[in-house]
Structures are given as structure tokens and as C-alpha cells.
Structure 1
Amino acid sequence: MPSSVISTDLSNTNSTEVTYDQYDLKGNLQQYTTKDGVATTIIWGYNSTQPIAKITGISYSLVIGLAAEIIAASNAYINLGTEQSLIDKLDTFRKNSALQNTQITTYTYDPLVGVTSITPPSGIREIYLYDSANRLKEIKQQEKDAAGNLIYKTVKEFKYNYKH
């Protein structure tokens, strides 16, 4: 597996931009560190096939103990199809006081189709909807209505036109 990214400037001076610190047994990157020393951890779920969380500002060894529940929930989702339960667990994970000084992005998937939600550090979730042919149909973004209730507003639609 690659261990780093090195760049060369005009005077042929090498500089390490990113160091890839740790991989799992399947070759999934678990931690990398940027040249300014900031660690980013990637938590893999869905039986180690998809990244479910990216946490910037903390090492893998400090996060993995906190992530057992979201990993188990993503593995169970494959069998039970309980995406909302997984989203709830990811939201609880994001609120963990041990992670308060980090930047967290979380992801959910339909493993045979694609990403179904991305929640960036801002907490404004985007939902990805697919048509019956498993093509991306809509992207919706979470926001609050006038009464303060969470709703999803369509921010992008995709139309597919075919000629025979």
C-alpha cells in the first residue's frame, strides 16, 4: 500500500504532503496525516466495504473504541435494511463529547446502488435518491421549515433521456 504522497517544487525539493499511516487487512485506509500534522481517521462499515465516517483531528487509535456501535449498525443494515437506525447511531456518534474538537463527515449507502446520505461537519444532511434503474435521481438537503421542523428540499434533479 502507498505510504505517502511526495511533491517536488521547481527547485527539486521534495516535500511529504500526506502520510498514509494505517490500513486494515482489506487494504482500506484507516488513517492519514497531512503535512501540517493533522490526523484524519476513516471508519469502514458495511462489512468493511464502505467508509461510514471521516473524522479529522483525531487518530484512529483514539476513535476506534467509540466507533464499534456505528460499525455494528452498518453491518446490521446490510441484513435488515434499517437505514434510519444507522443514521440515528451516526448522529449520536457525531455528538460524542470525545469528538467535540474534530470535523466529522458521515455516510450511508445502499450497498448495491450507491451513497444514500452524506452529513458533513455542518450537520446539514444531503439525501441521494435513485430511480428503479439505480441511477441517481435527486439530491435533497435537510433544512428547517418556518415552524422549525426538519424537511428535505430538492437541490438537484437528474433526468435521463435515451434514444433508440
Structure 2
Amino acid sequence: MPGLAAQILVVGVCATVVMDLWAVLLRRVFGIVPLDFAMVGRWLGHMPAGRFAHAGIGRATPIPAEKALGWFAHYAIGVAFAAGLIALAGRHWLAAPTLPPALAFGVLTVVMPFFIMQPALGAGIAASKTPHPKQARLRSLLTHGVFGVGLYAGGRLVHALAGMLALV
């Protein structure tokens, strides 16, 4: 199998894709509108000018290519979280992935939106300034749990690819 960085990339992208598919399911079945990653791009785009928090990111001045920047950041964060899981669980987790550490780590990643992104985008700590904070928190927890399942799926994919490459 390719090196550790490639394995982390596969796990992180896989986990993020699983989370995105979950968002598509929620939208189609329940009409729940997912986070607009253009707003993440807008938030990041304002950082070089020293603006790290907004009262409402939707009212902030748009930046060029904010949607692309937001989607890139979304996947980069997924890969960074995969690296975090593997750093904590150990490289041996990739040789025999198990669900509990991936799921636990996925749920723990909810700290990022609760205490960094939501406040910085104007939604308050743990979505406290949204119209339905409890629903928003539950959705975030579920989504990050799904991300954890995606981390496990990515680990299984890396494990399967390693087995197939060993046969070649």
C-alpha cells in the first residue's frame, strides 16, 4: 500500500464523502438544508484581513471563489481529522480498522463546529443563536457520528486496498 500520507488521504476523503452523502439524504428525505460551504470559504477568505468572527457570515462581503475554497477546506479538514484519528489510534488501526475508535473520534470532532466554526460564523457556541439550537446540536452530533462511520469505512477501504496490492 502507498505511504501513510496516501492512506490518511483515502480515509479522510472517504469519511467526508460519507458525511456529504448523509447531508444529501437529510436534504432529500427531510428537507434539511446542509451547511453552505461557500460560507466557510467566505469565513476563511476574510481571515487574511484579520477578520476571524462575524455576527452573521451571510451578511459579510462575498469573496472570490468562496464556494471552491469552502469545499476544499471541508475536505482538507476531513483529511486532517483522519490524521488525528490515526495519530491517536496508532498506525496499527489501519491494518485492522475497528468501529469504536473511529466512531468516538468522529463524535469528538463536533467540538470544532460547536466551539470554533459556529461562533465564528455568527451562530453562537453550539448553535446557541440559531432558531432551534437543540435540533442544530443533535444534527451536528449525528453528522459527526456519521463522519466517524465514514472514518471506519475509509479504514476498511485502505485495508482492502492494501490486501489487493499485496496480491499484485
Provide TM-score, normalisation by structure 1. Answer: 0.26
- When you count helix as a share of all residues, which structure comes out higher? 2
The higher relative CO (CA closer than 8 Å, separation ≥ 6) is in 2
* Larger Rg computed on CA atoms: 1
